[in-house]
Copies of this chain bind each other. A is one copy, B any other.
């Protein structure tokens, strides 16, 4: 009942905490994106565009249907944040590229995730390293598909 020391937290407690952190980070991201007139999905797509990416690759990354990407990229393109370029080696594929404006916007969104940045700043170097190591061990298992 009380806020006792978590000697050995139950898996359920850990799960709940992980979910709460994930939710909070997502809200932070969505809020920052919204300040720049973007939905969280649009921002997520923009965040993937380090370089040119075919529509299909984008759909794979987002784990969604290809037809969905068409609409999202349509709207990003209408705002001038992204361009569709023909692929020189395969005339079927269209590579999506972030424009200068697009790169600028997503950079600012990342910078403006204040809650997340603030929370991470409360951790010292040692704690950061420990957390990083633990999460890195968790990651491969989490990304395995059923």
Query: Are A9 and B134 closer than 8 Å at their CB atoms?
Result: no
- The answer to whether residues A142 and B130 also contact, given A14-B120, A21-B18, A63-B27 and a CB cut-off of 8 A, is no
Residues of chain B within 8 A of A22, CB atoms compared: 21-23, 25-26
Interface residue A1 (Cβ < 8 Å from any Cβ of B)? no
**Is the contact region of chain A dominated by helix, strand, or loop, or is it mixed?**
helix
Residues of chain B within 8 A of A122, CB atoms compared: 137-138, 141
Query: Are B129 and A9 closer than 8 Å at their CB atoms?
Result: yes
- The answer to whether residues A11 and B117 also contact, given A17-B136, A19-B25, A26-B22 and a CB cut-off of 8 A, is yes
Chain A interface residue number, banded? 35 or more
How far, in Å, is A130 (CB) from chain B's closest CB? 6
Interface string of A123-140 (1 = CB under 8 A from B): 101011111111111111
Interface of chain A residues 109 through 127 with chain B (CB within 8 A): 110, 113-123, 125, 127
Query: Are A119 and B132 closer than 8 Å at their CB atoms?
Result: no
Residues of chain B within 8 A of A135, CB atoms compared: 14, 17-18, 21, 131
Interface residue A145 (Cβ < 8 Å from any Cβ of B)? yes
Cα distance A125–B10 in the bound complex, in angstroms: 9
B-contacting residues of A (Cβ < 8 Å)? 6-9, 11, 13-15, 17-29, 31, 63, 110, 113-123, 125, 127-146
